[in-house]
Structure 1
Amino acid sequence: MSTATTNLRDEAERLLQELAGPHARLREDQWTAIEALVVQRRRALVVQRTGWGKSAVYFISAKLLRAHGHGPTVIVSPLLALMRNQVDSAERAGVRAATINSGNVTEWDEIHERIASGDIDVLLVSPERLNNPDFRDQVLPALARDAGLVVVDEAHCVSDWGHDFRPDYRRIRTLVAELGEGIPVLATTATANDRVVADVAAQLGVGEGTGETLVLRGGLDRPSLHLSVVRIVEPARRAAWLAEHLGELPGSGIVYALTVSAAQDLAALLAERGYAVAAYTGQTDTAEREQLEADLLNNRVKALVATSALGMGFDKPDLGFVVHLGAPSSPISYYQQVGRAGRSTDRAEVVLLPGREDQQIWKWFASVAFPSESLVRRVIGVLDVDRPQSTPAIEPLVDLNRSRLEMVLKVLDVDGAVRRVKGGWVATGQPWHYDAPRYARLEEARAAEQAAMLEYERTTECRMLFLRRQLDDPELTATTEGCGRCDNCCGSRWSTDVDEAGVAQTVARLDRPGVDLAPRKQWPTGMAKLGVSLSGRITDGPEPGRVLGRLSDLGWGPRLRALLDGPDAAAPEELMRAAISVLAAWDWAQRPAAVMAVESESHPLLVGSLAAGLARVGRLQDLGTLRSRPGRPPVTAANSAYRIAALVDAWIPPDLEGVHGPVLLVDAVTDTGWTLTMAARTLRAAGADAVLPFALASPK
């Protein structure tokens, strides 16, 4: 090894110690990757288990390249939780890092200026930003020309064979193709089998066969993980089992559920049983996620009850357990999620509680996958070449809901048939081919993965060996012995017996009318840049509230949708009875003294009559309607910060003289929760002791 190389490794070791502590030492494969990127300027694909230290490779490489006069490192990163962890890690090593994502809209201009002035070492970019017109046309070309290193983290997202394929990730191919000469590329992932590795390699030009690529692929065994499957048929009994045993699990951890509503219901159940838990889903606001992540990192909660929104990149080395109430549809996805646990502990418990309804949920998710050729061509057909159309404008013209339409547009954008521009989407006029054979192969692959997940639940062999085989672990051989830790190797640790009183309590809770409505706890970042002096924790918002039902519920959902989609009318008797039953079951700290309706643009009679009826039945003071200030435009912003800014001082403060006690605040639909939060602040400022929000419906 030359003197220069020795000095470089010494510097890399020093940076690692700043990242991970004074006793940290580079793994040989870590140094091999760093040397390939920094000295040889090569492309590399690193497939290593969670906790191996992939982020150390790219942060150290970024710092070393910057010291040698190269440009900033661009990291394409899929999840906000991952970005926050990575920025914190970078700062520990003296790396000047910034992130551009949907959660910091108000900071984008400042970050662009810092990039232009050379004041940023590492820029973390969400894949969605790669095709934002301004970023794509004004920022990306300069980054592609001047970047010191490009990193594609969680690179399995590039592959539609992967468990978490994201259309936006396919745009990375364009970024890589346009890189200046000699700019190294690093792709990393922890969860990829042979097929996914080959697909990522082909798409990013970082795989075997390019003639200059380094491929580092390690073993996937996790000695700390103790895998178990607990088979209980009835859903309520499974939830009761978790409520009974959660306290026995070590430290703090994650409980995964398959749907948003399941996560919310389970969090409410566990909270009522005395556990410090909170729901974490794709509907959780950015600022709220940050607070919840901090609560878990600092062991202020026993668990976050989460969907897959809390997945890749969440970094808590001492996470004590991962429990799944319902099985993911792929062993690869399952391994990725359980890999969050036990990274720096001797033992972590991993428990799967599968249900017969899991397959129905898998089927539903499969039904919203890429649609038929006729529907896709309909999307192309309604677009103009010259006149941009927004997604909401396109939606009424095609038989696709918003989420599927957005997915189709992104895929068509990658395929070159449409293009995102300022103002929306345009057709390119280029021919487009519907790759039916590929989609059929994908469907077959998904079916095989589901069958493998069911086999994992039933298998009597070592569970860790089973998962490693699914991921084509290169260190797995025909003579590899079982892990000696899972329930099949050591015998079941967990009994399926459940206390019948706990089961009855759980059934009563899940059958209870209404849905819990958690109050907003944290203001979004960047509000000051919009002229609004709100930051930190929310101290003057509403109390925990209730919603009559979700629009997605099988029971009340269809009735609520029919009611809200139809003409405005007084609240029907059936609705009044249901609302009264929800309020009767509400375990509030103090009974409300008065009721007030939030002014509704679409259903003023419905909301007003409901509030008046509740006041009459409950013998509450009827405060009428919380009126909007004259001339206020309707609030249409989807971004939380801009939505709050539009709701500041939106209502005329009511006269609450003589009101002694909480005010029940009634609205038709709550989606983001910001309308009820801001309306509650108006009432609190007017003198209300507390505000109890109640809405007829929430979307999910």
Structure 2
Amino acid sequence: MEHTSDASPRDLRTAADAVLARLVGDESGTARLREDQWRAIEALVADRRRALVVQRTGWGKSAVYFVATSLLRARGAGPTVIVSPLLALMRNQVDAAARAGIRARTINSSNTEEWESVHEEVAAGEVDVLLVSPERLNNPDFRDQVLPKLAAATGMLVVDEAHCISDWGHDFRPDYRRLRTMLADLPDGVPVLATTATANARVTADVAEQLGTGAGGDALVLRGPLDRESLALGVLRLPDAAHRLAWLADHLAELPGSGIVYTLTVAAAEEVTAYLRQCGHEVASYTGRTEDADRRQAEEDLLANRVKALVATSALGMGFDKPDLGFVVHFGSPSSPIAYYQQVGRAGRGVRHAEVLLLPGAEDEAIWQYFASVAFPPEEQVRRTLDVLAHADRPLSLPALEPLVELRRTRLETMLKVLDVDGAVRRVKGGWTSTGMPWSYDAERYAWVARQREAEQQAMREYASAAGCRMEFLRRQLDDEEAAPCGRCDNCAGPRFDAKVSAGVLDAARGELGRPGVDVEPRRMWPTGLPAAGVPLKGRIPASEQSSPGRALGRLSDIGWGNRLRPLFATGAPDGPVPDDVFDAVVRVMADWARGPGGWASGEADAPSRPAGVVTVPSCGRPELVGSLGRRIAEVGRMPLLGSLVYTPESPDRLSRTNSAQRVLGLHQALAVPPELAGELASAGGPVLLVDDLTDSGWTLAVAARLLRGAGAEGVFPLVLAAQG
């Protein structure tokens, strides 16, 4: 690539400011870059260096790479490649680039139909900026065919949310590790920019070291103070979930402008959204389950202030760009102060004052523990996977691997991505293969990361109870040496909100959260790969072997019944009879179920027959809970207790819960219909209620239903206390 450097620093600065003016829509042309922005652009364009910019949200990191792109393209450089995990940000940035006359396109999971045309446009030189999602870097076709050409032709590489590269970062993502190879393979003289708003000293050093692997030597690090003068932080402790929900309903309209209400789980986001709508608030839900078209609509509605708030999980992430966002409320506490700082940083970028409020919940710690449980697997499980791949005569897909290893699919995939970058496995068409390369388990690193997560959780506890400045606390967590009291937070300036809620709204919130019953959909397809493991089950489950849709009292991730049920299923919780308040709620679920659409007491012509009896699922951990639940349901429903399924003598000591295939494999060997229950089923002459304490994957209910239907039950209606997820 030919580099021209005939422009003087003054001319280059003038050209850079002109691009900025177009980017921000400043027709007067008076917009000027900050000095650190200019230092980064000069390093990238004039010196072709590598730079790491660690600056607060709203500082203008995207202006750096758009201005640098325009200047580099004017000098004949190839297109800029931006790796970003944020679909919302991608959409924002395509629009922003267009204002500056920069042609931007994206390649991500939501626009697969455009990939071919985008590749053609890049090859034809018609694209100035290509935004790529990190999962593309691990796609075999993209990695082997597109990425080498892109690396050879790119004019600048931008790594957005660069803390994701680092194992030590709060949001480490295996897909990002592919960038280490790309950085090392870039031709000499190709500038690289890494940006993030949330990197402490260790992460900054780690990312800078990785950037410095190129021919240019050490990377330029530009790290600024992380204070956000527009943000007024606060914490409000309320007695329970109903009070938090009622407080939101009472006070949402008082919060400035429009904003985001973050929740920790999808279930909580859906519950909060439903209740706020009932109370007349214009809000929309935004989670990992939200369809892409609905996400786009929700983003547009918030940008246009057609909704007061998006009720969102971390699926909204850091990448939503709305400068006038007036507030961020957290309905539940994130597990990391660094992640919290990043999320609240979406507010107040273009306004003088924005409210940031944390409403901690009783369920927070249990949710933290769940997410911590999906960390990098123990060495034994990793070695088992490597051994399976080493002895396979073909690439193995994730569904083919599941029956052979005890890991959930998402955790298995994450592990394989790490092993791929480490060189131990390789993703190819058709699945994964072993490279045969030696690999060592870095137990020290994984243990350190686990300890770091625990330290972050403790820091969030301290943040919520801190008597000192909250912004200073967050800045110190990010190793900001200029951290000082902000004068704005509730501890510095006094609380701005009190805990009062109106009685009627609180009663309504309690009623909403106290309403029991969620649907439990039956499994309809067996996991793939079972015949290879000796289980003759595959494809669609025949209707004659399926259960009907069932019911659960609540989800463990709910903010209503979840909070009541979670202690029953906590590690080390004692077994015992079903509590009276829980059973009373189960009776309400049964009554609503029977009278509801399609229920056996609905009076509809095609309604199923009334259950002829109750069957329980055997429980190793909570036999008294399940047994008492089954007995009391039979008594209240005036049905016979027909008996229980049993575990066979040759059952494995522990039924795997790690993935679908392993779970079905174990259940197929373990569960059986004893002769006395088979006799009762034959004489019952109708469907049965299948009672269990907890459903996680749904496979226990599916295998039990198949056995009961095979033994003569006309139908199976699952009824469980709690659903996981």
TM-score (norm 2): 0.72
The corresponding residue for 2:625 is: none
User: Measured at CA, do residues 24 and 622 of structure 1 come closer, stay the same or move farther in structure 2, by a change above 3 Å?
Assistant: farther
The corresponding residue for 2:19 is: 15
Alpha-carbon distance between aligned partners in 1 of 2:468 and 2:81, rounded to the nearest angstrom: 43
Alpha-carbon distance between aligned partners in 2 of 1:420 and 1:237, rounded to the nearest angstrom: 49
Mapped contact 1:268–1:516 kept (Cα < 8 A): no
The answer to whether the aligner puts 1:251 opposite 2:272 as a matched pair is no
Alpha-carbon distance between aligned partners in 2 of 1:305 and 1:553, rounded to the nearest angstrom: 19
| SS of residue paired to 2:8 | helix
The corresponding residue for 1:164 is: 171
User: Measured at CA, do residues 583 and 343 of structure 1 come closer, stay the same or move farther in structure 2, by a change above 3 Å?
Assistant: farther
Mapped contact 2:208–2:221 kept (Cα < 8 A): no
Which structure 1 segments of 5+ residues have no match? 518-545, 559-573, 586-594, 596-610, 625-668, 672-694
User: Measured at CA, do residues 333 and 516 of structure 1 come closer, stay the same or move farther in structure 2, by a change above 3 Å?
Assistant: farther
Q: Per-residue deviation at 1:62?
A: 1.1
The corresponding residue for 1:6 is: 10
User: Measured at CA, do residues 346 and 407 of structure 1 come closer, stay the same or move farther in structure 2, by a change above 3 Å?
Assistant: same
Alpha-carbon distance between aligned partners in 1 of 2:216 and 2:14, rounded to the nearest angstrom: 30
The corresponding residue for 1:267 is: 273
Match of 2:187 among 180, 199, 215: 180
Alignment of 1:73-112 (within 5 A): 73-112=80-119
The corresponding residue for 2:701 is: none
Which structure 2 segments of 5+ residues have no match? 521-548, 567-584, 609-694, 698-718
User: Measured at CA, do residues 583 and 181 of structure 1 come closer, stay the same or move farther in structure 2, by a change above 3 Å?
Assistant: farther
Alpha-carbon distance between aligned partners in 1 of 2:379 and 2:298, rounded to the nearest angstrom: 41
Q: Per-residue deviation at 1:499?
A: 2.5
Q: Per-residue deviation at 1:165?
A: 0.9
Q: Per-residue deviation at 1:699?
A: 8.4
The corresponding residue for 1:662 is: none
| SS of residue paired to 2:76 | coil
User: Measured at CA, do residues 498 and 124 of structure 1 come closer, stay the same or move farther in structure 2, by a change above 3 Å?
Assistant: same
Mapped contact 2:55–2:61 kept (Cα < 8 A): yes
Alignment of 1:141-540 (within 5 A): 141-205=148-212, 211-384=217-390, 387-476=394-483, 480=484, 482-514=485-517
User: Measured at CA, do residues 579 and 124 of structure 1 come closer, stay the same or move farther in structure 2, by a change above 3 Å?
Assistant: farther
The answer to whether the aligner puts 1:130 opposite 2:130 as a matched pair is no
User: Which amino acid counterpart does residue 67 of structure 1 have in structure 2?
Assistant: A
Mapped contact 1:386–1:426 kept (Cα < 8 A): no
Mapped contact 1:100–1:125 kept (Cα < 8 A): yes
User: Which amino acid counterpart does residue 454 of structure 1 have in structure 2?
Assistant: R
Alpha-carbon distance between aligned partners in 1 of 2:344 and 2:265, rounded to the nearest angstrom: 17
CA RMSD of aligned residues (A): 2.9
The corresponding residue for 2:42 is: 35
TM-score (norm 1): 0.75
User: Measured at CA, do residues 325 and 577 of structure 1 come closer, stay the same or move farther in structure 2, by a change above 3 Å?
Assistant: closer
Alpha-carbon deviations, 1:124-153, whole Å to 9, x = none? 111110111111111110111111000000
Q: Per-residue deviation at 1:403?
A: 1.1
Mapped contact 2:426–2:432 kept (Cα < 8 A): yes
User: Which amino acid counterpart does residue 71 of structure 2 have in structure 1?
Assistant: L
Structure with larger Rg: 2
Mapped contact 2:211–2:219 kept (Cα < 8 A): no
The answer to whether the aligner puts 1:51 opposite 2:54 as a matched pair is no
Alpha-carbon distance between aligned partners in 1 of 2:280 and 2:488, rounded to the nearest angstrom: 31
Alpha-carbon distance between aligned partners in 1 of 2:553 and 2:399, rounded to the nearest angstrom: 22
> How many pairs were matched up?
557
Q: Per-residue deviation at 1:502?
A: 2.0
The corresponding residue for 1:618 is: 602
Alpha-carbon deviations, 1:94-147, whole Å to 9, x = none? 111111111111111111111222111111111110111111111110111111
Q: Per-residue deviation at 1:85?
A: 1.1
User: Which amino acid counterpart does residue 87 of structure 1 have in structure 2?
Assistant: V
Q: Per-residue deviation at 1:66?
A: 1.2
Mapped contact 1:187–1:206 kept (Cα < 8 A): no
Match of 2:592 among 575, 581, 599: 581
User: Which amino acid counterpart does residue 231 of structure 2 have in structure 1?
Assistant: L
Alpha-carbon distance between aligned partners in 1 of 2:303 and 2:91, rounded to the nearest angstrom: 12
Mapped contact 2:256–2:355 kept (Cα < 8 A): yes
